[in-house]
Each structure stands twice: as C-alpha cells, then as structure tokens.
Amino acid sequence: MREDITPSVECSCRETRREVSDALIEVFARVRSRCAALAQILVPDALWSDFQEWHARTDEEALHRSALLLALKRGHLERITSPVHTYLLADGRPRADLRKQYLQDLGERWMHYADPLERHRKSRIFFGRLVELQCAEWLEALGWEIAGLEALREGPDIEARRQRGQLTAFEVKFIGMDNVDFEVVRMSLKGESAGAAVSPYSATNYLLFRAYEAAKQLQEVKHARVALLVVDDQTPDRFEYG
C-alpha cells in the first residue's frame, strides 16, 4: 500500500515561524491559503468562517485555543500537517478512499462548543485521530513500511511490516487529560479554589483498561498485534507513578 500513499511535499506549513509580527490568525490565513492539509482537511472552508470568528475573541473561561494556531506560533505546525500531507491527500485533495468519519473528526471544530467541558471532550477526539497518523509517521521513521490505515479502510488503526517481513497490526489509544482534572485546572485559572483526591492506582487501572480495549479490538487479527498507548504530556504526573 505504501506506493499508493502520497509523500509529504514542500508546503507553506513547513516554514518555521517562531516569531510573528502580524496577528496570528492573519499569518495562519496566509499559510492555510497555500496548504492543502489545512484548507482541505484540518480547517476546510465549511469551518473557516467560524474558526476565524472564534479566535477573534479571547476565551476567558478555559483559555482554549486552536492546536493549529499554537503550533504555528511555536514553530512546529509541520508536526501536525506532515502526516496529513503524507497519508490523506492526493493531488492536493482528500484521497478518494479517506473515510468520512476521519474527515469529520480531523476538522478542528472542537472549540466551537459553548460548554468548556464539552470542548475538552471533543478535543480528545480530534487529537486521537491526529495521534494515529503521527504514530504511523513515527513507525516509518523507525523503518516500518505502512501497509494499511484505518483512515483509509476498515481494520486496525495501522498495519505495517518491517523490511517486508511479517505484518503487524497496531491499535492506538490516545490518553488525554480526564474531565475531573480539566475542571480542576479550569477553576484554578478562574482563581477559584479547586482540588481533587487522586488514587495512586487510578492511572494504572486506566492504562490497563485502555490496553484491554485495544486488545479486544485486535482480537480478530490473525497476525502480530501491538497496542500503542499515547499519553498527552499535558496530563498530570499521575501516569509517571501509576
């Protein structure tokens, strides 16, 4: 399948901008106008107007901001757009076999929900899809050959083989900040007293649950199987000792 995947190309999203003199949304608009990954998948025309409008004001309640804008500001937008270019685009358009659910989930629309907690929940779906693609790119960097992606067909999140050897199926589980921790952080940002008891076993139990969830999804696969758990670095330190 690798020969059917379009290699990443030079694009405006690859330009490093660690300092921006213009308003960030204006810089993003210029980059987007020349980047198919942004304009066709991550922020398509159907989302662009609402995207601009939402970022014209400040979110005082949860300090939410687009991951794409922040990546541009911090100089690593390519880390998000690169796997989209590589796996999901053909001739500057979404691939014909790109599944509708992935196209829907990869549009960065999570910030358009009024309730901050609902925004947080929806953002985990968005990041979960991105992480799948980033894991595929990471595997390729380690010498694996991508043979299949759930983004393009039914089956495991990723199928790959090393040096044309045995096929291996990967199920990727993204673990972001849970709702309770998010509410504690949000209340703290508002200057309100906030706190929550943390069991030293909760992280271990949750990781085991997500690994079990991945194993169940891989149960019907006949070849080698791997569960990949990706923990967001914004999650509390509980996973370090969980």
Compute the half-sphere exposure of residue 109: CA atoms within 13 Å on the CB side of its CA: 13
- CA dist 110 and 148 (Å) reads 27
> Helix, strand, or coil here: 170?
strand
For residue range 185-198, list pLDDT tens digits in order: 666 666 666 666 66
In the chain, the number of structural domains is 1
The yes-or-no verdict on residue 235 having pLDDT over 80 is no
Sign of CA dihedral 207, 208, 210, 214: positive
Domain of 18, in residue numbers: 2-241
Q: Which residues of 139-164 are buried (b: 16+ CB within 10 A; e: fewer)?
A: bbeeebbbebbbbbeeebbbbbbeee
For residues 114 and 219, the model is more confident at 219
Query: Cβ of 201: how many Cβ atoms within 10 Å?
Result: 9
CA angle 217, 132, 79 (to 5 degrees): 170
Residue 26 — very low, low, confident or very high, per pLDDT cuts 50/70/90?
Answer: very high
Q: What is the pTM of this model?
A: 0.86
